[in-house]
Amino acid sequence: MTRHEDSNHEQLEGDLQRLAKPSETDDAFRLSLRAALLDHLQPPVEVPRWKRPVFRFAFAGGAAAVVVASVIFGLVGTGGSGGPAVAQGAIVRHALQAVTSPTSCILHVKVTGIQNGTQIVGEWWQETRPPYASRGLKGPIGHEGESADDGTTSYSYDTATNTIYERPDSSPPTFTDPISVIRKELAAGQARVAGTEVIAGVSVYKIDLPHGLVGYFDKSDYRPLYLDDPTTNGVVRLRVVAFEHLTLAPANRDLLSLVAQHPNARVDTNPQNAPGK
């Protein structure tokens, strides 16, 4: 696709999104257009020129005007389902692209929220290519659990004893970053754009995901900003504090390693001593 075609495609998506938004003049426009169509269908009657109604609709000029006008008449004929559906599909597609990571980097994600009156945090680093090495922290702030996996060995860190426990990991390595659930549900074709919402003074796209999650996405770059996660104790709203792709530079690769992050910790390689055994 050429740059010119990309520009036209983006302009069309913008026009469709604007058409999909409710407007105070929608009903008046609909009635006016209906009257014009009915008048066109009536048998011709000679009417003095000064009594003939004039209908003017101001749209963008050139080829864009033809496209927008055809969409408007299509909406009248189909009950308004075509244009909004196309615009919603474009939003979901852009959101999916935003959460799809490159294949040679480290994805860094951090979320915070309040659960049962306690402030919680989750932070992950994961390589986006095999062996998908990862490290993560999760739990109440100040009492997070920390673990890592390099594809063959899993690690967990005990803050109280400053000990890193190692044990073999026989599960096949996969890319299961914390955003993978959102990505999978956006790709399933059942996500629904539920309009826009203002959170902390920022207008965002609200997208209902198939299995109860609700995502809120930036309207410019479609990056996820919030996630409503239903739990047995109610909905927890998570704020996406960080969502970035890091290079595979040595300093960034150290973010995947518990040993690198806790160089003074004791390392216990006896699998029987690992937590949960």
Set out the domains of the chain in order of their start, with CATH numbers. 3-80 (no CATH), 103-277 (2.50.20.10)
- In this prediction, residue 19 carries a pLDDT of 47
- In this prediction, residue 87 carries a pLDDT of 85
The mean pLDDT value for 109-133 works out to 92
Q: Give the burial string for 20-50 (b: 16+ CB within 10 Å, else e).
A: beeeeeeeeeeeebeeeeeeeeeeeeeeeee
pLDDT by residue (tens digit) across 181-240?
A: 889 999 988 899 999 999 999 999 999 998 889 999 999 999 999 999 888 888 899 999
Rounded-to-integer distance, Cα 99 and Cα 101, Å:
6
pLDDT by residue (tens digit) across 133-163?
A: 999 999 999 889 999 999 999 999 999 999 9
- In this prediction, residue 46 carries a pLDDT of 45
Q: Specify the pairing of strand 224-231 against strand 234-246.
A: antiparallel
- Nearest CA-CA partner of 242 in 155, 176, 177, 145: 177
- In this prediction, residue 64 carries a pLDDT of 38
Backbone φ, ψ for residue 237 (5° rounding)? -90, 120
- In this prediction, residue 45 carries a pLDDT of 45
Q: How confident is the model at residue 67 (pLDDT cuts 50, 70, 90)?
A: very low
The mean pLDDT value for 98-120 works out to 92
Of the listed ranges 26-30, 67-71, 210-214, 220-224, the one predicted with least confidence: 67-71
